[in-house]
Structure 1
Amino acid sequence: MKMVLSAFVVALSIAALGYEAGIPYFARLRNLTVSAPDRQNYVVVDPDIWKFSRNDLADLRIYDRQSQVPYALIKQSGGSSNQETTAKILNLGSVGGHTEFDLDVGGLQEYERVRLEIDAKNFINGTQVQGRRNSNDRSGSNLGSSTLYDFTAEGLGSNFVLKFPTSSFPYLHVRLSPGILPSQIKHAFVSSFSETKAAWSAAGECKPSTGGPKETLFECSRFDGVPLERLAFDVPANTINFNRTVVISEKQGNEMGRGSIRRVQLNRAGQSVVSEDLTLELYGRPGNSVKVAIQNGDDKPLPIEHVRALSFERRIYLDPDGKTSLQLYYGDAELGSPAYDYAKFFQPSPNAGVAQFGLPEANPQFTGRPDERPWSERHQGVLWAAMVAAVALLGALAVRGMKGSSASK
């Protein structure tokens, strides 16, 4: 009993402390050539690393001979922030058939978007925006024009957002084209919008397949270990004015999600609208393959050239400290994430060099980790035999005691 208890305590201690990295414990090796030894470099995680590493890439280690080189693993997901503030509508009315009004935005230091709530459908409207210092100014700085639209009848979506250069005027003056009444302007929201672009890498391959009579079907197989996070649809530029539902399902047929792809190019009353969205985001971790069905309804199928399976690019950033050649090791399923100060205080450099991987290869020093399981787990047969023998011995002693008791009576 004491031996089993001691082994259990040792196992808990190992789990708490985690496993140490060691070159012989990594199954794979990549030589890493640094392009700019005097500054920050990065290298992009590729399919071989995804295939042989942990799903979370926690077991990556960079070495300079026998010493670890700190790094930061960064997901190039980009992102955007859009903080909206309600703007007070002033002086709402009609001038010469045009709906006009002012917006009090004095609470924001900078902004570049206005979203309107308009009680109208099936319209297109050119809108002009001026920046003004006072609400009673008769003119102001021209901030440009935007096109508001709603194509509910055609099923092509809507846009109620005015976009213009970053501004700091305390008031905005908005003038709409004829067609929208003052009573249809319900609310206005001003926002400061910022965005960083994402970087993508291939996550698999998509090929056409045979679908139903009113759908176009593709089957996408992902590379081993690579997360599938986006689907991008390549449609010829001359194919316009469509909005199709896309259903994504697992190979067994279970639906994972759905969305839509669209492209709008319309001209009405001298005003044009150009808008498109040909990508779908995926969430969760699908199996090795998914089915992508574009629902055509009663329209002819879209001439889709390609469907691209994509994953956010993962970059390994490091400071080579003058070194031109390093080694990346991976493929140790027991190893957890490293804890580097470099990663905690990391700031990407705008002029980081792009390092290069050599060909993937097996680690010639690989031995694998020693079996660190408790003695009781590694020798379960012996443990069970000992327990059976102990039970048998206790049974024999009990029977013997009972016989001795009967004889004395």
Structure 2
Amino acid sequence: MKWFVAGLALLAAAPSPQQSDFRYQRQLTVRSAGASDQACAVLDADVFSHAAPALRDLRLYASGREVPYATTVSEPATPDPEPARVLNLAKQGNAVAFDLAMPGHPYTDVELNLDVKDFLSTAKVTAGSAQLGSFTIFDLTSQKLGRSTTLHLQESTFPLLHVELTPIQTAGNLHELAVAEVKSATIPPSREAQTLYTSVARSTSVLQKGRQTVETIALPMQVPVERVRFALQPDFHGNFARRVTVTARAAEQGSRSESASGEILRVKMTRAGHEIEDEQLAIPFTIGANLQSPATVEVTVENGDDQPLPIASIELEMRQRRLCWPAGTAASPVLFYGYKGLPAPVYDYARLFAVGGRQTEATMRAEEPNPVYRETQEKRPLTERYPQLLWLALIGVVGTLGLVALRSAMKLPK
């Protein structure tokens, strides 16, 4: 048994990868490290499509020495919306008033859940004697102009807000809010900690098919997508609200398609002396990180009876991923990847990495083939890749023969 355990230890001690084992490389350059603790570079779509799943084969080298690193994903400090408790809800004249018990951290937006259609109101927000602003909220879906019930505040930490919703009198005689129509409120992640995104694919040539605007975008395998963003021609200033459907289909046989839908809109107008302004040109859509083959993403905009939107581009985006390493150890390391069978590294630096440390930006040059690459790991026989296997087999054979001999000796008559 001891011999067998020793053999396993030999197998586990497989040699470290060499720079010649990787298909691709990227030169990284730190702009100015200064007193920074960390140097960080943004990872792009090429890294995901050519690296091993989960980026487990990423390796940094500087002067022939492996450099430890950590990877990060951009996300707000509070990734999920939080509820704000509605208190003291009551009618005050033609207005509806209530208090909101806010979370114990900074916030910037408040989303009101109002069970009402076709309304136009002002929302006056105060905190004690502090005036936090007056906002216009609306539902103009019957006019094909969308809906907005979000109060865009400056970053605040007040534990209690007071809100008064007063209807705006217009010629259309829109609905007046009632107490029962105020259902709840939620607090999205603070805008001060907004998620950053990186473009992974882009299209600038949309097609018109009847009442739909349709575009198909190629997505490389393993590249994550978490948002679809639209850009309109800069000379277009019209108001609109359009339903959008996004569908992803993998190229491999038997793969299921994944779909999501949402709405893009722009409203900018004046009603009864009040400015109404809102714009939403992005739709959350998660796909790609688990795709082991290329895919196509089809984006469909429903125009109905309206003129098609002058779409300048449609982009697929992922949350920004960054690769960080100790700034003082290497100013211009080289990133290697493209070794599918390599296990993920284990670095103390990654376990102890502090996202909030002092960082300096690093640039990543375009991907290029590794000039010293040799097809080793995938093509070479297993025994050549891991010569310890021969020792393990030999130990197993010797151990087995020894055990057989021992049992045979025990059976001999004394």
Q: TM-score, normalised by structure 1?
A: 0.74
Distance 1:61 1:368 in 2: 17
Aligned to 2:138: 149
Give the equivalent residue in structure 2 for 1:56.
54
Relative to structure 1, the CA distance from residue 326 to residue 106 in structure 2 (aligned partners, 3 Å threshold; closer, same or farther) is closer
Deviation digits for residues 314-358 of structure 1 (CA, Å, limit 9, x no counterpart): 211111325333222211111122111211222234542324437
**Could you list the per-position Cα deviations for residues 31-76 of structure 1 after superposition, in whole angstroms to 9, with x for gaps in the alignment?**
3333334532112224443343113211011122343211111223
**SS in structure 2 opposite 1:49?**
helix
SS of aligned partner of 2:20: helix
For the pair 1:43 / 2:37, whether they are aligned, the reply is: no
Task: Please tell me whether residue 105 in structure 1 is matched to residue 101 in structure 2.
Answer: yes
**2: distance between equivalents of 1:107 and 1:361?**
51
Q: Which of 366, 374, 389 is 1:366 aligned to?
A: 374
Kindly indicate whether the alpha-carbon contact (under 8 Å) linking 1:34 and 1:356 is maintained by their aligned counterparts in 2.
no
2:283 is aligned to: 280
1:389 corresponding residue in structure 2: none
- Greater alpha carbon shift after TM alignment, 302-311 vs 30-39: 30-39
Moved more, 104-113 or 299-308: 104-113
Partner of 2:269: 266
Q: Call closer, same or farther: CA 1:172–1:110 in 2, change over 3 Å.
A: farther
Q: Does the Cα contact within 8 Å between 2:96 and 2:179 map onto a contact in 1?
A: no
Q: In structure 2, how many angstroms separate the alpha carbons of the residues matched to 1:216 and 1:356? A: 36
Separation in 1 of the partners of 2:367 and 2:63?
Answer: 18
How do 1:1-400 and structure 2 match up within 5 A? 20-38=16-34, 39=36, 40-78=38-76, 80-89=79-88, 92-95=90-93, 98-103=94-99, 105=101, 114-132=110-128, 140-165=129-154, 166-168=156-158, 170=160, 172=162, 174=164, 176-177=166-167, 180-189=176-185, 191=187, 193-195=189-191, 196-208=193-205, 210-223=207-220, 225-236=222-233, 238-250=236-248, 256-285=259-288, 287-348=294-355, 349=357, 351-357=359-365, 360-364=368-372, 366-369=374-377, 370-372=380-382
Give the C-alpha shift of residue 25 in structure 1: 2.2
Once the two structures are superposed, what CA deviation does each residue of 1:120-145 show, in whole Å capped at 9, x if it has no partner?
Answer: 3211111212222xxxxxxx321211
Cα RMSD of the aligned pairs, angstroms, is 3.6
Aligned CA distance change for structure 1 residues 372 and 234 (closer, same or farther; 3 Å):
same
Distance, in Å, in 2 between the alignment partners of 1:201 and 1:72 is 18
- Match of 1:325, SS state, is coil
**Contact persistence 1:32–1:326 (CA under 8 A):** yes
Question: Once the 2 structures are TM-superposed, how far is the Cα of residue 207 of structure 1 from its aligned partner?
Answer: 4.7
Of 267-276 and 340-349, more deviation after overlay is shown by: 340-349
Deviates more, 1:16-25 or 1:357-366: 16-25
Q: Distance in 2 between matches of 1:49 and 1:111?
A: 35
* Greater Cα offset, 108-117 or 362-371: 108-117
Structure 1 residue 373: Cα displacement: 6.4
Mapped partners of 1:78, 1:104: distance in 2: 22
Mapped contact 1:240–1:263 kept (Cα < 8 A): yes
Matching residue's letter, 1:152: T
* Alpha-carbon distance in 1 for matches of 2:80, 2:104: 15
Whole-angstrom CA distance in 1 between matches of 2:24 and 2:233: 42
Residues 188-216 of structure 1 deviation map (CA, whole Å, 9 limit, x = unaligned) = 54747424233333322425354421111
Cα-to-partner distance string for 1:2-43 (whole Å, 9 max, x where unaligned): xxxx9xxx89996x8888433332222333333334532112
Structure 2 stretches lacking a partner, 5+ long: 170-175, 385-414
The answer on whether the counterparts of 2:46 and 2:367 sit within 8 Å (CA) in structure 1 is no
2:350 match: secondary structure: helix
Q: How many residues align?
A: 357
The 8 Å contact of residues 207 and 219 in structure 1, kept in 2 or not, is answered as no
1:302 to 1:272, Cα distance in 2 relative to 1, 3 A: same
CA distance in 2, matches of 1:170, 1:257: 36
| Distance (whole Å) between structure 1 residues aligned to residue 131 and residue 54 of structure 2 | 50
Aligned mates of 2:96, 2:136 — CA distance in 1:
15
Deviations 1:136-177 (A, max 9, x none): xxxx32121111211131243323343434142556253524
Structure 1 pair 68–131 and aligned structure 2 pair: CA distance change class (3 A): same
What is the identity, as a one-letter code, of the residue corresponding to 1:147? T
Q: Is contact 1:19–1:335 with CA below 8 Å preserved after alignment?
A: no
Letter matched to residue 145 of structure 1? S
Q: Is the 8 A contact 2:110 2:188 kept in 1?
A: no
* Closer, same or farther: CA 164–18 of 1 in aligned 2, 3 Å: farther
Could you tell me whether the CA contact under 8 Å between 1:214 and 1:298 is conserved in 2?
Answer: yes
Extract unaligned runs of 5+ from structure 1: 1-5, 133-139, 375-409
User: In structure 1, the residue corresponding to 2:141 is in which secondary structure?
Assistant: coil
* 1:112–1:216 distance in 2 versus 1, CA, 3 Å: closer
Counterpart Cα distance in 1 of 2:188 and 2:21 = 50
> How many Å apart are 1:104 and its aligned residue?
6.5
For 2:212 and 2:367, locate their aligned partners in 1 and report how far apart those are by CA, in whole Å. Answer: 41
Distance, in Å, in 2 between the alignment partners of 1:108 and 1:316 is 32
Query: TM-score, length-normalised on structure 2?
Result: 0.73
Q: 1:205, 1:222 within 8 Å by CA — same for their partners in 2?
A: no
Q: Is contact 1:31-1:326 (8 Å) kept?
A: yes
